[in-house]
Amino acid sequence: MLANKKILIGVTGSIAAYKIILLTRLLVKEGAEVKIILTKAATDFVSPLVLSTLSKNVVLQELSSNSEWANHVQLGRWADVFLIAPLSCNTLAKLANGICDNLLMATYLSATCPIVLAPAMDEDMWKHPSTKKNLEVVKTYGNSIINVGDGELASGLFGEGRMAEPEEIVAYLKENYFRTTELSGKKVLITAGPTYEAIDPVRFISNHSSGKMGFALTEELFSRGASVTLVTGPTKEKLSFPSIKRINVVSANDMYNACLSEASASDILVMSAAVADYTPVTVEFNKIKKKENDWSIELTKTKDILFSIGQQKRENQFLVGFALETNNERENALQKLRNKNADCIVLNSLNDKDAGFGYDTNKVTLLHKSGETHEFSLKTKKEVAKDIVSFIISKING
Ligand code: CTP
């Protein structure tokens, strides 16, 4: 998503400047081209050598040095986004008033790209009426602000004013400037993770699903422009994009109810959750005590979400199911494709090394209702998500 994107970072004098080291690393790792401007005050907090090494570009500090002129106009036109982070109180005041006394300010005043500000201040400075006023002023100039967080501040006090974390900044830039448009206007409903079927207040029946594949797919669908609702069972996985609607559920029945109320409004439906096929007939209110002899639990079938959605599917909806198989993989997956009226099934085999539950890698075969099949090699779940989403896009456009 960030490959070959040009990001200019202006760093000002704040202790949060140390976070720019990690931010630069994250951006470069994702393929972005990063150039950095430091104000004089910023050099007290972070070394130009560290940042030039990580960004693989000379760090710019002065409008001119050794009779060479840093072309601020060209810099502001080169960038896809100009991020000023951390934004100190002092530079904020300069932005609000158009004071042009260093390279960062000259670049800001001549930039034609979107400008994003990530302030960092002590709570009292952050809450000062002049700061509030300056923030309102810079917003009217069209600049975007990444909200500060709560927590321990450089002063040792706790409160508001911490600069957003590098991962949050990367997610903000991606979400607001670098999503593609292949799926814009499309609504997606996706399920992920396992379900927990309660036996009593202490125990439940579940499976080994980590939710990683479903979460990678959710973020990829969103990155390609779709508006996405994720219905997920219990998982440790987190989403980076706040605009994805996340509905947390526990049981297969909760997941069924959440999905069925969202399904008719969705254009693409991806059922990647490992939903329990059976649930206890009764859930004991109190913890079940150990018995003298063996004990069995009566189970009843859960409602099949993929099947139910397949029954009501409209012509213009695209339904994707998953099949995790251990034997007769293709036959079983094709049977699911037909029985559940899906458009496509993503087949995972538990026999493939390093693929499946808990791994960061996966190996899938896509089976389309037309008979078309695509077998992919072992890849990271993020790369697998890209392949699956590209396949969906090719089918809905084709
Ligand atoms: N699925 C579902 N609701 C259920 C069970 C499964 O939506 N109650 C969906 C899964 O999300 C997946 C697909 O159905 O997309 C295949 O799930 P799986 O459990 O493997 O298939 P089953 O039809 O239950 O067959 P079996 O367990 O016998 O392999």
Residue 99 shares a structural domain with residue 225? no
Residue of 271, 313, 329 to mutate, ligand 1, most atoms within 8 A of C-beta: 271
Q: Distance from first CA to last CA of the chain, Å, rounded?
A: 24
Identify whether 292 is part of a domain: no
Arithmetic mean of pLDDT, 222-246 = 97
Identify whether 274 is part of a domain: yes
- Whether the CB-CB separation of 196 and 283 falls below 8 Å is answered with no
319 lines ligand 1 (CB under 6 A): no
Q: Residue 4: is it exposed, middle or buried by C-beta count within 10 angstroms (0-12/13-18/19+)?
A: exposed
Q: How many domains does the chain have?
A: 2
pLDDT tens sequence across 140-196: 999 999 999 988 877 777 888 999 999 999 999 999 999 999 999 999 999 999 999
**Residues in contact with 361: Cβ distance below 8 Å, sequence separation at least 6, in sequence order:** 354, 355, 378, 379, 380, 381
Cα angle, residue 28 at apex, residues 23 and 33 outer, rounded to 5°: 110
Is residue 63 pLDDT above 90, yes or no? no
Beta-bridge partner residues of 341: none
Beta strands 187-192 and 227-232 are: parallel
322 lines ligand 1 (CB under 6 A): yes
Among the three residues 123, 147, 177, which one is the final residue of a domain in this structure?
Answer: 177
- Domain containing residue 355: CATH number: 3.40.50.10300
**Residues in contact with 327: Cβ distance below 8 Å, sequence separation at least 6, in sequence order:** none
Which amino acid is present at 241? Answer: F
Residue 195 shares a structural domain with residue 150? no
- Domain containing residue 158: CATH number: 3.40.50.1950
Least confident segment among 98-107, 124-133, 154-163, 300-309: 154-163
Is residue 67 pLDDT above 70, yes or no? no
Residue 130 shares a structural domain with residue 166? yes
Residue 272 shares a structural domain with residue 360? yes
**Predicted structure pTM score:** 0.91
| Closest C-alpha among 395, 34, 24, 374 to residue 186 | 395
Q: Residue 236 corresponds to which tokens in the numbers above?
A: 């440790």
Q: What is the Å distance from ligand 1's center to 186 Cα? A: 25
Residue 385 shares a structural domain with residue 254? yes
| Closest C-alpha among 390, 394, 382, 387 to residue 214 | 382
Residue 227 shares a structural domain with residue 138? no
Q: What is the Å distance from ligand 1's center to 272 Cα? A: 9
Residue 77 shares a structural domain with residue 201? no
Q: Which helix (H) or strand (E) holds 156?
A: none
Identify whether 252 is part of a domain: yes
346 lines ligand 1 (CB under 6 A): no
Identify whether 261 is part of a domain: yes
Residue of 269, 277, 313 to mutate, ligand 1, most atoms within 8 A of C-beta: 277
What does the pLDDT read at residue 75? 87
Residue 306 shares a structural domain with residue 171? no
Strands (E), 261-317: 268-271, 278-280, 299-301
Identify whether 195 is part of a domain: yes
Identify whether 73 is part of a domain: yes
What does the pLDDT read at residue 350? 77
Among the three residues 177, 198, 216, which one is the final residue of a domain in this structure?
Answer: 177
Nearest ligand 1 atom to alpha carbon 325:
29
12 lines ligand 1 (CB under 6 A): no
Q: What is the Å distance from ligand 1's center to 304 Cα? A: 7
What does the pLDDT read at residue 359? 81
Residue 234 shares a structural domain with residue 369? yes
Residue range(s) defining the domain that contains residue 240: 187-287+298-397
Arithmetic mean of pLDDT, 40-56 = 96
Nearest ligand 1 atom to alpha carbon 301:
8
Beta-bridge partner residues of 227: 187
Identify whether 76 is part of a domain: yes
263 lines ligand 1 (CB under 6 A): no
- Whether the CB-CB separation of 185 and 265 falls below 8 Å is answered with no
Among the three residues 177, 206, 222, which one is the final residue of a domain in this structure?
Answer: 177
Residue 173 shares a structural domain with residue 209? no
Q: What is the Å distance from ligand 1's center to 40 Cα? A: 60
321 lines ligand 1 (CB under 6 A): yes
Nearest ligand 1 atom to alpha carbon 273:
11
Q: What is the Å distance from ligand 1's center to 120 Cα? A: 48
Q: What three-state secondary structure class fits 369?
A: coil
323 lines ligand 1 (CB under 6 A): yes
Nearest ligand 1 atom to alpha carbon 303:
8
Identify whether 1 is part of a domain: no
Residue 223 shares a structural domain with residue 322? yes
Residues with active-site annotation: 207
Arithmetic mean of pLDDT, 128-133 = 96
Beta-bridge partner residues of 231: 191, 247
Least confident segment among 73-87, 335-349, 351-365: 351-365
Residue 153 shares a structural domain with residue 268? no
**Residues in contact with 67: Cβ distance below 8 Å, sequence separation at least 6, in sequence order:** none
Instruction: Specify the residue with its C-alpha closest to ligand 1, atom 4.
Output: 304
Instruction: Specify the residue with its C-alpha closest to ligand 1, atom 12.
Output: 322
